Amino acid sequence: MKNFTLILTLFSALLVLNSCNDDEQMMSTADVYTHGTFVINQGKFGSGTGTISFISNNDNSVSQNIYQENNEGLVLGNVAQSMARVGNRFLITINNSEKVEIINASDFTYENTIEGIAQARYVLALNNDEALITSWGASGTDGKIFKVNTNTATINTTIDVSGGPEKMIAVDDVIYVTNSGGFFRDSIVYLLNETGDAIDSEIVVGDNPSDLVLDANGDVWVLCNGYTDFSDPNQSTNGRLVQLRNGSVVNSFEIGNGSSQLEVSKDGNTLFYMNGGKVYSHDINNTSLSSTIIYEGFFYGMGVNPFNGNIYLADAVDFDSNGNVVILDEDGEIIETLEVGIIPGEFLFED
Amino acid sequence: MAKLVCIFFFLLFSWSIHSQDSLSYVSEIIEIESSSYSSDTLNTNTNSILNQLDQSSKGVHQTNGPGLLSTFLIRGLAARHTGIIWNDWSIQSAVNSTYDLSLTPNNFYNMELNMGSSSSGFGNGAFAGVVQLKPNLDNHEIFSVSSQISSIGNFNFASSANVELNNTKLKFGIETSNQNNHYKYLFNRKERTQENADFENHQSFVDLHHQLNVKNKIGINVWHQLAHRSIAPSKTSSYNNDRQKDKNTRVNLFFQNIQNTASHKFSLAYFNENLRYRSNQISESLASSKVYLARQMSRYFFSSNTVLTQIFDLRLDNTEANFFEQIRKQENLGLAIHFSKENLWKHFNIKTKLRADYNSISSFQMSYNLQLERAIHDKLKLHFNTGRSFQNPSYNDLYWPEGGNPNLKTEVIYDNEIGMEYELSNFFLTTNIYYNYVDNWIQWSPQNNNLWSPSNIAKVNSYGFESQLSFQGSTKNFSFSSKLSYSFVRSIILEHKAFDDLIGNQMIYIPNHKINGYVNTSYRNFYLESDISWIGSRFITRDNQNSLDDYSLINVKFYFGNSIEKGSLWQIGTFCNNLMNVDYEVVNFYAMPLRYFGIFLNYKFS
């Protein structure tokens, strides 16, 4: 009996120790996701699933498929468009699945789903519990901006816009929203009120505005892709880099058709954008376009880490295989190339 | 077209004017021989065509699910490389080079799978092998009716009748299926129900052969089809309301003359194929093809074992689609010579085929085939097969408005096969080893402007091994038959113009290993059939970093068959597909049904 009690005690102790180890592992797993870069991989078009890769700031190690890993094999859906932090949660827009997944930011576990957001695009946090989400609508022509509550996973208000609302930025008490035209043509940047409930005004910029950033002077820069007419290339228009101050256009530079991915340097003085297989930079204080080429290559996405200034380029390779992320320093020198998931498109940087 | 019809009837009457001998029906129809040595004839009597394709180990049935796109990949090659042949004519779409096998009738035609390339017989498209749909007027059934209903809301009904007079054989029938496809599947740990894969398919058929006199015969084959369906999205996508309508009419006319030392056949055919696809993003895609075909085929018998066949055919494709800038047309002229001699030497047979095709878009192509057969003794045969075949790019490849590449070259395959057949008592063993080399492989991939475009991007090598062991046995009340087959295939990229990293990788969705088993037992009037298949894991990305798990399926069928009077047969039974309730995927993230049941009732009167 004595031996039995001893064995039982040892066994219990082992169990307790073992469970402690598990807790530590879970804690360390959660810690990993707080100092690095999330790569939002769209997944194969049409029938794949989006995935999330995480690049650690410490050693540039990559954790693949972290959503599946932390959620017992659950998959996000098709296509993972973007990801943003809203308080203690991450929101991931899944455009073809017409939903937005709400993820617990501490352990990357699934919390809830906001359904019925057709072709969801981007998220802007209003506060710890509310966010705006842009949506192209089912047909790509009936755009909407949804205000959602992440506690309840419900839509509070809906603003109808023309086709293809894209990225948003909040500057003081104004929210800027680019309206890209979706599959068609548009040239509007909407200005919403502070609470994101209504459109206050709109600015005409250039054809198909999609991206926008805030520079060191507090000006908003808008990148317009330009309109592409496949059936009649003569109808295509060039892109534009438009500088907005207090809701008005103060500068507009012509750039190539198909320009995309506007980013700003850590100090806010340099803009980066891509066109025709080149990454360009533009000094915000130049009165003419200073299109310096900092890197060459065709990339599907770009991000600038606001904490260290490194430039992240997403290489979708053949749009079927795992993609790569090329990390450049601020001068355009390669730091590292890392394999991530299928069709990397967006980045979210966490300090 | 009018000229062709006039020529056809002129030839018809000039040949038939000869004799008014006493009439008797001659069943032989001159057909183009495929270049394949390895064939499977599928029994369409008690099972659906698609289930039968699952049972064949010589290829992979690729499907997005019941009611959705179904294709058959032969020997590690692509769906577009499998030719679909109806009455000796290729019915692959000129728009996208593929044919959706879910549109295939289950009951009316015999289906034959021929492995190995056959362009030397059928021309463009018979690249990796062919699936032949053949009329069946010799089954002596006066009337047959079959119906099936299943627990996923599917109802199928088919009926056909044979009328035979002294010199005429007529078979006509209908086949209709109304499939809800409300099947259960698993996704993200939850059981869901497929609700967007409804499929209605209505088909009617006429095969008429009329013996004009002892030497001459005319015939007509008609196949009309109207199908509507919802195109269910992948499990990872939301409901998309996409719908597709297929409306196809195919007519084949032939006149055949058989002499003592020669036979001749003249055929005219017309296909009218219409496809309409609607989705939220694409307002509507419409494609309408009119295909005119003519063929003259003569077969000369120099002796009882020496045969020469000559073929001349013409094909005019005319496609109007709202996504092409203009009407797309192509003309194809083909000339083929086939020669076969049995017992060239003792127990040594040879067949050679040579064909030249001139295509107005893809220019000139030669295809050939050499087949040698040696009977070691009456139980063991060896064979060797080698050939060259081709596949022209489709209209989509050439002219898609945002990325089509009009400079594409024709894909070419060089295929080689050796094999054996061995028969021992009730056992029959076949084994083949093959080696294929494909040049100018067409692949769509993103270009520098992120637009997708096709190019002749790769050289591909596929090789493998196929073996099948069959057994049949019976006693007074008990019968047993079974098949066990295994296939191994490697299909690898030898050269890739865009991504060197892909060299040496297995092509996607090609399992290295596949095993099929089939058992059919009967005791008195009770029958039990079971097929078991195991599909190995398959890569789903070109970098071979992601794969689908292997899976195994068991389908069973139990029925009672009874002759209530001479010449008539009732069959009533039940079936269960996916007996073990396996959660599996054929194509990544496309829902496949968990276990479901059904009942069927067949009546045949002979």
Q: If you measure CA to CA, which chain B residue comes closest to A94?
A: B237
CB distance from A73 to chain B under 8 Å? yes
CB distance from A96 to chain B under 8 Å? yes
Nearest to A342 among B237, B401, B541 (CB): B541
For residues B64 and B79, is the Cβ–Cβ distance under 8 A? no
Measured CB to CB, residues of chain B less than 8 Å from chain A are: 188-189, 233-234, 236-238, 280-281, 325, 401-402, 445-446, 448-450, 452, 498-499, 501-502, 508, 541-543, 545-546, 587-590
For residues A64 and A53, is the Cβ–Cβ distance under 8 A? yes
Q: What are phi and psi of A76, to 5 degrees?
A: -75, -45
Chain A residue numbers touching B325 (CB-CB < 8 A): 231
Q: How confident is the model at residue A32, as a pLDDT?
A: 59
For residues A200 and A174, is the Cβ–Cβ distance under 8 A? yes
Domain hosting residue A159, numbered range: 36-350
Across the interface, do A183 and B401 touch by the CB < 8 Å criterion? no
- Best mutation target, B62, B187, B238, B542, to test chain A (most A CBs within 10 A): B238
Across the interface, do A77 and B189 touch by the CB < 8 Å criterion? no
From the CA of A34, how many Å to the nearest CA of chain B? 26
| B285-307 CB burial, b ≥16 within 10 A, e <16 | eebbbbbbbbbbbbbeeeeeeeb
Across the interface, do B236 and A320 touch by the CB < 8 Å criterion? no
B335-379: pLDDT as tens digits = 999 999 998 888 899 999 999 999 999 889 999 999 999 999 889
Cβ atoms within 10 A of the Cβ of B559, count?
21
Half-sphere exposure of B16 (CA within 13 A, CB side): 19
Three-state secondary structure call for residue A254? strand
Nearest to B188 among A75, A138, A321 (CB): A75
Chain B residue numbers touching A183 (CB-CB < 8 A): 281
Bridge partners (DSSP) of residue B275 are B246, B287
Q: What are the helix and strand counts (H, E) for chain B?
A: 4, 33
Angstrom distance (rounded) from CA B20 to CA B467: 51
The answer to whether residue A346 sits within a structural domain is yes
Across the interface, do A97 and B189 touch by the CB < 8 Å criterion? no
Residue B506 DSSP label: B
Across the interface, do A321 and B188 touch by the CB < 8 Å criterion? no
Across the interface, do B234 and A140 touch by the CB < 8 Å criterion? no
Burial of B234 (0-12, 13-18, 19+ CB in 10 A): buried
- Best mutation target, A47, A76, A112, A139, to test chain B (most B CBs within 10 A): A47
Three-state secondary structure call for residue B59? strand
Angstrom distance (rounded) from CA B292 to CA B308: 27
Burial of B245 (0-12, 13-18, 19+ CB in 10 A): middle
Burial of A134 (0-12, 13-18, 19+ CB in 10 A): buried
First to last CA, chain A: 56
Cβ atoms within 10 A of the Cβ of B145, count?
16
Q: If you measure CA to CA, which chain A residue comes closest to B448?
A: A298
Closest CA to B575 of B553, B552, B550, B604: B553
Angstrom distance (rounded) from CA B570 to CA B562: 5
For residues A133 and A175, is the Cβ–Cβ distance under 8 A? no
- Best mutation target, A41, A300, A318, to test chain B (most B CBs within 10 A): A318
Across the interface, do B541 and A321 touch by the CB < 8 Å criterion? yes
CB distance from A45 to chain B under 8 Å? no
Residues in chain A: 351
From the CA of B191, how many Å to the nearest CA of chain A? 13
Half-sphere exposure of B171 (CA within 13 A, CB side): 20
Instruction: Say which CATH number the domain at A250 has.
Output: 2.130.10.10
| B172-193 CB burial, b ≥16 within 10 A, e <16 | bbbbbbebbbbbbbbbbeeeee
Q: If you measure CA to CA, which chain A residue comes closest to B189?
A: A74
Across the interface, do B280 and A139 touch by the CB < 8 Å criterion? yes
Q: What are phi and psi of A32, to 5 degrees?
A: -55, -35
Nearest to A298 among B188, B448, B542 (CB): B448
Half-sphere exposure of B19 (CA within 13 A, CB side): 12
Angstrom distance (rounded) from CA A100 to CA A93: 4
Is the bond preceding B586 in cis, omega lying within 30 degrees of 0? no
B84-108: pLDDT as tens digits = 999 999 999 999 999 999 999 988 8
Return the structure tokens found at A211: 């991206």
Chain B residue numbers touching A258 (CB-CB < 8 A): 449
The answer to whether residue A329 sits within a structural domain is yes
From the CA of A193, how many Å to the nearest CA of chain B? 31
Indicate the number of domains in chain A.
Answer: 1
| DSSP for A19-61, written as a single string | HHHHHHHHHHHHHHTTSEEEEEE--STTT---EEEEEETTT--
Q: How far is CA B280 from CA A221, A231, B241, B274, in A?
A: 33, 21, 7, 20
Q: In what order do the strands lie in the sheet with A62-63?
A: A62-63, A51-56, A36-41, A344-350
Q: Count CB pairs under 8 A between chains A and B.
A: 89
Chain B residue numbers touching A341 (CB-CB < 8 A): none
Across the interface, do A46 and B587 touch by the CB < 8 Å criterion? no
Closest CA to A42 of A348, A346, A274, A259: A346
From the CA of B540, how many Å to the nearest CA of chain A? 9
The answer to whether residue A20 sits within a structural domain is no
Nearest-Å Rg of the Cα atoms of chain A is 22
| DSSP for B298-335, written as a single string | EEEEEETTEEEEEEEEEEEEEEEETTSSS-EEEEEEEE
Angstrom distance (rounded) from CA B38 to CA B540: 28
Across the interface, do B448 and A320 touch by the CB < 8 Å criterion? no
Strands B427-446 and B363-377: unpaired
The answer to whether residue A228 sits within a structural domain is yes
For A:244-273, CB contacts with B below 8 A are 258
For chain A, 351 residues long, give each residue's pLDDT as a single digit of tens. 445 444 444 444 444 444 444 433 344 444 558 889 999 999 998 889 999 999 998 899 999 999 999 999 899 999 999 999 999 999 999 999 999 999 999 999 999 999 999 999 999 999 999 999 999 988 778 899 999 999 999 999 999 998 899 999 999 999 999 999 888 889 999 999 999 999 999 999 999 999 999 999 999 999 999 998 877 778 889 999 999 998 899 999 999 999 999 999 999 999 999 998 999 999 999 999 988 999 999 999 999 999 999 999 999 998 999 999 999 998 899 999 999 999 999 999 998
Three-state secondary structure call for residue A351? coil
Nearest to A318 among B188, B445, B545 (CB): B445
From the CA of B239, how many Å to the nearest CA of chain A? 8
Nearest to B238 among A43, A96, A258 (CB): A96
Across the interface, do A318 and B449 touch by the CB < 8 Å criterion? no
Mention every residue, 6+ apart, whose C-beta is less than 8 A from residue B91.
Answer: B84, B85, B99, B250, B271
Nearest to A97 among B237, B402, B450 (CB): B237
Nearest-Å Rg of the Cα atoms of chain B is 24
Regions of chain B short of the pLDDT cut 50: 1-2, 4-6, 8-25, 44
From the CA of B542, how many Å to the nearest CA of chain A? 6
The answer to whether residue A67 sits within a structural domain is yes
Chain A residue numbers touching B545 (CB-CB < 8 A): 321-322
From the CA of B546, how many Å to the nearest CA of chain A? 8
For residues B398 and B362, is the Cβ–Cβ distance under 8 A? no
Angstrom distance (rounded) from CA A211 to CA A264: 11
Interface pTM, i.e. ipTM: 0.84
Nearest to A74 among B188, B446, B501 (CB): B188
Q: If you measure CA to CA, which chain A residue comes closest to B547?
A: A321
For residues B280 and A142, is the Cβ–Cβ distance under 8 A? no
Nearest to B402 among A118, A230, A258 (CB): A230
E-strand stretches of B409-477: 411-424, 427-446, 452-474
Chain A residue numbers touching B541 (CB-CB < 8 A): 44, 320-322, 342
Angstrom distance (rounded) from CA A322 to CA B388: 35
CB distance from A75 to chain B under 8 Å? yes
Give this prediction's pTM. 0.89
Mention every residue, 6+ apart, whose C-beta is less than 8 A from residue B264.
Answer: B15, B30, B256, B257, B258, B296, B297, B298, B299
CB distance from A342 to chain B under 8 Å? yes
Side chain identity at residue B100, one-letter code: D
| DSSP for B3-25, written as a single string | HHHHHHHHHHHHHHTS--PPP--
| DSSP for B97-150, written as a single string | S---GGGS-SSSSEEEEEES--HHHH-TT-SSEEEEEE----S--SEEEEEEEE
From the CA of A319, how many Å to the nearest CA of chain B? 7
Say what the alpha-carbon torsion angle A124, A126, A128, A132 is, to the nearest 10 degrees.
-50
Across the interface, do A96 and B546 touch by the CB < 8 Å criterion? no
Nearest to A97 among B189, B236, B502 (CB): B236
The answer to whether residue A13 sits within a structural domain is no
First to last CA, chain B: 40
The answer to whether residue A12 sits within a structural domain is no
Bridge partners (DSSP) of residue B336 are B311, B355
Q: In what order do the strands lie in the sheet with A278-283?
A: A260-264, A270-275, A278-283, A292-296
Across the interface, do A321 and B449 touch by the CB < 8 Å criterion? no
Three-state secondary structure call for residue A234? helix
The answer to whether residue A190 sits within a structural domain is yes
Across the interface, do B449 and A319 touch by the CB < 8 Å criterion? no
Across the interface, do B545 and A318 touch by the CB < 8 Å criterion? no
In which region does residue B544 sit, left (phi positive, over 0), alpha (psi from -120 to 50) or beta (all else)? left
